[in-house]
Chain A
Amino acid sequence: MSKKVILCRCEDVTLTDVQRAVASGWSDLEEVKRYTGFGTGPCQGKECLRGVALAIAEASGRAPAAMHAFTTRPPLVPTELKYFARRAAASAGDDDT
């Protein structure tokens, strides 16, 4: 049996990948996200964020409580473009997230 531990199923990021990222000096969740690609697939981190955070904490010695989740991006779940398609003029207004 393979000893590979998959932490991010969407982007095939393993425990070893995260440990290697930490060994290279990346220790922030935002940095590790960019370096490994974890959390950029369909789940957008909903499945993998905790596991990766714990793996970073273990590899870096940082307290899990001191770590910040990466910025959440809309939409809430992957959504077909056709449900959003509206002409810009139809809905102006300040809807910053």
Chain B
Amino acid sequence: MTTRRKPGGAAAPGASAPLPDAADIAIIGAGVMGLALAYNLAAAGAKRIVVVDAHYLAWGASGRNGGGLRQQWSTEMNIRLMQESLAICAGFAQEMGINVWMRQGGYLFLARTEATRARLEATIGLQNRCDVPTRLIDLREARALVPELEVHAHGDDDDDGGDGPGFAGACFNPTDAIVFPWPFLWGYARAAQKRGVAIHTATAVNAIERRGNGDFVLQTSKGPLTAARVVNAAGAWSPAVARLCGVDLPDWPERHEILSTEPLKPFLRPMVSVLESGLYFSQSLRGEIVGGITLPGPREREVRLGSRLRFLQAMAAAMIDIMPRLGDVKVVRQWAGPYDMSPDGDPIVGEAPGTPGFYLCCGFVGHGFMMAPVVSRYYARHLLGKETHAFFDVWSAKRFTGGAAGHGGREQMHIG
């Protein structure tokens, strides 16, 4: 694992350095979104950018996710955004001088019900028109792609399809990918620091005050920071951060759990996912099988990161159900990370209604990691007044207060 622990000498953000007094833009949250935004701002020539985070790099959801990058979405805007994001990820290692363990093995989605299969079919035409080569396939072809899968069509109980419940169909896009998430944080952090960004981990924001001239004063555990503009990129913690500024956001945290097995010889190329249960797993370049499943539960107000036996049981059953030989594979650890859920499944971006200068970049519903490379690029241009993107209209927080249209056809491809 040599390449993993020599990521080009990424400098640790200054937990001990003194916090600057003032910033043009203060970003709250040193996850991939905040760091990538800081990098893109600095790369565009912006000065006096400060990123603060209560914890260390990779502590939050950016360090806890499954590293999936997919272009199989149901709206053209999201498909095109993810095509661009994937292209940025593909060039990231060279551009940043850091190995991100990217593997373009595709995404294989399995549909239990005819309704889900029909929904997939409806999205594939749009994906194809955007040059994403997704194909609707039958279970035989799914088994050809992943011979270890024991899945069969409803009513087709042949020998090689296993004896679990059947499936209605599947789809496969060979150009979707997985990455190892942590080096993205180190890469963006180091590149941002090189361009003058101050990154302060172990720096909690305890209060946000507003001066008469419109400036914000962040009262942090390392002293006050005055900022002309503030970006809330705190992910699942963003509603709590917004409350410090008197802003009520409609997003909420949802615990999702994930596990990793012992490393195995490479055998599994695509990410495999069952749409109805939210089951997904892939084989990392380290050889581990990494994946999760959606567990229904009551809506929580605070972020909770405990691990549950209930998850391990459901996940093990679901994995073995479609790939029985995984039963003999050992799980080595499980952990949890928070999704930042929004009421309609779309992110929340732009200025908070009624609080000019307080920008939102949250509500990404478990897709923040894969979208950060592209969203941060357009967000930086937007903040610098250079260019905007349609997502600032579609994803505006004004849609929750009746002031924006949204796009009328909500994204349907929410998995896990």
A interface vs B, CB < 8 Å?
11-13, 17, 20-21, 24-28, 30-31, 34-37, 40-42, 44, 71, 73-75, 78-88, 90-97
Q: Which residues of A contact B136 (CB under 8 A)?
A: none
Please measure, in the bound complex, the distance between the C-alpha atom of A41 and the C-alpha atom of B333, giving whole angstroms: 9
Please measure, in the bound complex, the distance between the C-alpha atom of A24 and the C-alpha atom of B57, giving whole angstroms: 14
Contact of A80 among B7, B57, B263, B327 (CB under 8 A): B327
Residue B245, interface by CB 8 Å: no
Q: Which residues of A contact B182 (CB under 8 A)?
A: 34
Q: Which residues of B contact A28 (CB under 8 A)?
A: 56
Please measure, in the bound complex, the distance between the C-alpha atom of A93 and the C-alpha atom of B59, giving whole angstroms: 27
Contact of B310 among A25, A75, A93 (CB under 8 A): A93
Please measure, in the bound complex, the distance between the C-alpha atom of A90 and the C-alpha atom of B11, giving whole angstroms: 48
Which B residue's beta carbon lies closest to that of A73?
Answer: B333
- Name the prevailing secondary structure of the A interface residues: loop
B interface bracket (residues with beta carbon within 8 Å of A) = 35 or more
Contact A34 B63 (CB under 8 A): yes
Q: Which residues of B contact A40 (CB under 8 A)?
A: 260, 333
Contact B5 A84 (CB under 8 A): no
Q: Which residues of A contact B327 (CB under 8 A)?
A: 80-82, 85
Question: Shortest beta-carbon distance, B106 to chain A, in Å?
Answer: 24
Contact B316 A84 (CB under 8 A): yes
Residue B104, interface by CB 8 Å: no
Contact A31 B313 (CB under 8 A): no
Please measure, in the bound complex, the distance between the C-alpha atom of A80 and the C-alpha atom of B326, giving whole angstroms: 8
Which B residue's beta carbon lies closest to that of A36?
Answer: B5
Sample of 9 further A-B pairs with CB below 8 A, known A73-B307, A95-B308: A20-B6, A25-B14, A80-B327, A81-B326, A82-B320, A84-B309, A85-B319, A87-B313, A93-B310
Contact B1 A11 (CB under 8 A): yes
A84-B316, A96-B308 as given contacts; A37 in contact with B5, CB under 8 Å: yes
Contact B313 A24 (CB under 8 A): no
Q: Can you give 19 A-B contacts (C-beta < 8 A)?
A: A30-B59, A31-B12, A35-B186, A36-B5, A71-B335, A74-B334, A78-B332, A79-B330, A80-B327, A81-B327, A84-B331, A85-B327, A86-B313, A87-B317, A88-B310, A88-B314, A88-B317, A92-B310, A94-B308
